[in-house]
Structure 1
Amino acid sequence: MSSSDIFIGETIGTAVLILLGGGVCAAVTLKASKARNAGWLAITFGWGFAVLTAVYISAPLSGAHLNPAVTLALAIKDNDWSNVPTYWAGQLLGAMIGAALVWVAYYGQFHAHLTDHEIVGGPGAQATKTKAVEAQETGAGPVLGVFSTGPEVRNVVQNLATEIIGTVVLVLAILTQGLNDNGNGLGTIGALITSLVVVSIGLSLGGPTGYAINPARDLGPRIVHALLPLPNKGGSDWSYAWIPVVGPLIGAAIAAGIYNVAFA
């Protein structure tokens, strides 16, 4: 694979991943969406199918890492760091593109949601004080969850541990599925199994933090949230933003170590 193939493949694949994954979050969250309040099952399966679609699209070009944690684990496993910066650059750019496309697709719903007094607070709104206090304490705006993850209980040690544990499961599942004929990504069956693993992680471990398990998936859309001209969007919760970046990278390193000791 050439560097250009890697960069293009990861950019397209991660953009599709975030478009479909962020899209299901928007569908479930936003006012005037037909899928509003569809629940956690819709989100977890939406993200699983997003992974499956993105992997099939980008695998021929880049091997479909789509996640800096996966790229790090494969670099540790193979002791080959030459393409890591290219993978990471494509993944971050793709995540930002995908998040921007979610905004385009749900433009009217974002506007309806963020101008509703019952949601963002206003005269006569029961939730006004609660929303204002929450925004002041956490820096998380009312639609940040469409773009990035956030904890239900703010505890740095627990939140970091949750992201580490979830990523260990994901990366071990990927490393033990076997790679494609080029040795650079998942095979067809491995892609299907991994998408189901993502659903499983979401159902079992997603409750505490929203299961980022992918630094680009969280950081890229969070940057887009900060840049977009969304009315009443609130903060991007930068005080929390390091956890869904550092946690998955630590988890990936641990998983690669376990693989090299137990499976290699």
Structure 2
Amino acid sequence: SFYWAIRRAAQFEGVYADAQTAADYWQTVADKINAACDAGTLPSRTGRRTATSQPIKAEYVPATLSETWNGLCHAAGLRGCAPYEALRSIGTEEDFAAWSGYLHCSFNSSAEAGKDTPYYSLYQKAVFAVMQGWAWVYSILLTVGVVCALFFHLTELLPWIRKKCTAQTVVPWLLLFGIFGMALLRCAMIAFVEVSSFGIGTSTMYLATVHPLLALYAFVGLFLYGRPLKRKETA
């Protein structure tokens, strides 16, 4: 949201009068931010330049590949998706008043100012435990499904590649692999930004689109295993 706020403010200042003016202005902003990072005036989580579109460097490759794998496991394992927040209420009465006023609603009834009273009752935690159990079972089934679908997919695709075949026999399998490829690409894209700039750790929010792609790939890959993906010729 702050990107849009900055752009909106720049628009009111006439920065977008024409393309060249906008390009010159934002280049100046980038140069000043990078200079401040290099000088240590503006701290950076990673100790590198702060940006969302970093230059691609060889030093980022190993860490990006590692974080890509972490992101893939994060999405398949439904990590960071606990149904409740485990933090305790340690805010002051002034904090509670400010938060409630900002949200325009009453605060959690279990929260006690200045104390570490748990937010949720034992009954609520029992319900959440059941939900987490379901998520645990589902994550195992999803992971196994993706691995099996990928194995079956390769066993079907590789023989077609090794022998003479037509586009109608290979392209459908390649298109199916594109679903899995999009999931990997999303993980890799977020991994690069995390390694080169963000430094906030593997984030469920940024990987949210990976999960439906994995579920779709697992379902379609297993459903189509052993079925010919080619058009039947009619006499």
Query: Structures share a fold, TM > 0.5?
Result: no
TM-score by length of 2: 0.24
Larger Rg: 2
TM-score by length of 1: 0.22
